[in-house]
Structure 1
């Protein structure tokens, strides 16, 4: 049999979570490569608006919660970029979103095992004399094969765009994920409608309100939610984003997990209090002296249909408590309809080995390993375990902890010390 260079780990995707994995792996003897189809690291580029911040403290970086001495910490990034005193006087826990992206790029540029412009197209499992993965990667103009004992999927989530409107996607109808790229053209419109009640929708509305007096467009903001509510951000509420709560949630029955998740939307889907205040204060300022409110804001309202007409896009809106339909015209419609994870096509060759639950979702063990029918080669997942591990799955603050748990398993020893008790409250008996 030909001699093959089998790595310990191949990471698929280089978002914040697999970037953190690579940073933490630098302290180990594990061999690794991480592949990303994009040409460089760029975190939600369509929402890197000036004045926006992370919704988690700066300690939710690649490494700090499990290794505060790491050279890849945010504080060391500030030190290396001669910004430590400026940050000290900045006196804020939530850092600018643009700076978080720049920090991630700084980390990425220092890691040898990252390969950009490299798309994983297929993964197969070898089980004959040895157990390992064969990974096919499209590197720009060439196709190469790599081998690994373990796979860590960190491909992130994709924008949710209603199927009924997908064929209409354009500069006039698009997802909030592309707002910054389409912003200049959007500001030229006569009327703009934003749909959604999460943080992205609110940030776009606030940005549009700030430009409205110069551009003179009509502005509308609708959501099917019951209101434009703030995200839960009390200190005890934040303890849901802890290893302790993840452990508690994992051991609930599957049916109970679904019920719990349905009632936890405001833990991660609402709007920050600061953004709500910014919008309200701007509206208050603009309506002094009896001036007309510069925006139509309405909850309890579903966007049921869109038709492209000569004078714009005709929206059919349904206020479901009143049971009333209404139509309006808007030049541009921005759908801030969230994100979701999906099973990547490169796993097609693995379906015979992977276990799925009754809802067709991946079965995942408590240590983030996808359950399979084979032993000796592990398939781990990052930010695809909401249904098994709860609301902390997409949270940046739990990324380093999850990576440490994965690394400890692969290394077969405690490379990073993890604590069983991290918070003040307990969630069960």
Structure 2
């Protein structure tokens, strides 16, 4: 009998495993992936996290944990280097390295194991799992089950199947650079980072770029200190006591706290656009207020769009499309 079984090993359940490690809790976590992996397709060089290093897996819950980001730096002899660095934000690659460091030290993580079914027996849960390689099945019993299966890439059904989701960007970058024109669809942080990464590619190798966004404004991530209080334990306690309908309406107001673009990314994009020559400016376009209705393919992609305010229909021809269109549960 386990005290806790976790389904999925992403940052949330990895943090739960790390916090449970020094306790007497008997825990087990399953993931169908071969090894721990966190957004490998978005490991863009120099891309930064949007949250402080203090928002690691454990610190805000247990500052004394051996699995903190600071202890990770100490273990790789970079603690003083980070101290001299004097920044709260860390790179996405650095955070991924930290996550993998934590994962290698926990003995309750089982990879290549798919959870097939969970049954509520009344007093406990029966969790049926299957080895991805051999197909062998086992059943485990637990008092509690935590579902941490995250989300999956979401691409509208009206987009041609050849469209690439932003989670596959890094793996396809070399091939994308061979295309004459690349279009990016989306108005969030991922779209901005990919646009910036391609924008900073040396001119002779840089394709023509087009960034299509539905929003009127490229919303900046909310970084005001009072606004960030929605992540505090006291606010979460208050929020969870609200009626469901009120919570659903409240979440809509939090968009900028979750989905905006970091100010540093926007400033960097503007600075690079400013430095473009007149000839290079003709090869870069940012199109706002356009909702993509359909993307078809016939030797080249055709992007059918509608202007959000003028309501007229427009189209664009391109050689590659990257959809930074978010995720679904």
TM-score band w.r.t. shorter chain: over 0.9
The answer to whether the aligner puts 1:138 opposite 2:127 as a matched pair is no
RMSD, matched Cα: 1.4
Change (3 A) 1:188 1:79: same
Q: Does 1:335 align with 2:323?
A: yes
Q: How big is the shift at 1:290?
A: 7.4
| Matching residue of 2:254 | 264
Residues 313 and 329 of structure 1 are in contact (CA less than 8 Å); yes or no, is this contact kept in structure 2?
yes
Aligned to 2:96: 101
2:145 aligned with 1:151: yes
* Contact 1:286–1:293 (8 Å) recurs in 2: no
Which of 199, 217, 232 is the equivalent residue of 2:189?
Answer: 199
Q: CA deviation at 1:291?
A: 5.6
Within 5 Å, give how 1:22-421 maps onto structure 2: 22-127=17-122, 131-139=123-131, 140-141=133-134, 142-165=136-159, 168-170=160-162, 173-211=163-201, 213-287=203-277, 292-310=281-299, 312-341=300-329
Distance 1:237 1:294, change over 3 A: farther
**How far, CA to CA, are the matches of 1:320 and 1:88 in structure 2?**
47
Q: Is the 8 A contact 2:221 2:262 kept in 1?
A: yes
Aligned-partner Cα distance in 1 for 2:202–2:184:
14
Instruction: Quote the Cα distance in structure 2 between the aligned partners of 1:67 and 1:253.
Output: 30
Q: Which residue of 2 is the match for residue 389 of structure 1?
A: none
Q: How far did residue 163 of structure 1 move?
A: 2.0
Partners of 1:43 and 1:291 lie apart in 2 by: 35
CA spacing shift, 1:179–1:111, aligned 2, 3 Å = same
For residue 251 of structure 1, report the CA deviation from its aligned partner: 2.2
8 A contact 1:134–1:148 mirrored in 2: yes
Tell me: CA distance 1:184–1:340, structure 2 relative to 1, closer, same or farther (3 Å).
same
Higher strand residue share:
2
Which blocks of at least 5 consecutive residues in structure 2 are unaligned?
Answer: none
| Equivalent residues of 2:58, 2:65 under 8 A apart | yes
Aligned-residue offset at 1:330: 0.8
Q: Provide the rounded CA distance (Å) in 2 between the counterparts of 1:17 and 1:320.
A: 37
Q: How many residues align?
A: 327
Match of 1:414 in 2: none
Tell me the TM-score normalized by structure 1.
Answer: 0.74
The answer to whether the Cα contact below 8 Å between 1:283 and 1:293 also exists between their aligned partners in 2 is no
Measure, in 1, the Cα distance between the counterparts of 2:280 and 2:199.
15
CA contact (8 A) 2:199 2:206 kept: no
CA deviation vs aligned residue, 1:256-314 (integer Å, no higher than 9, x gap): 22222223211111100000000000000114x6763541111110111111112x111
1: distance between equivalents of 2:318 and 2:152? Answer: 26
Given the two structures, how large is their TM-score scaled by the length of structure 2?
A: 0.96
Partners of 1:291 and 1:303 in 2: CA distance: 26
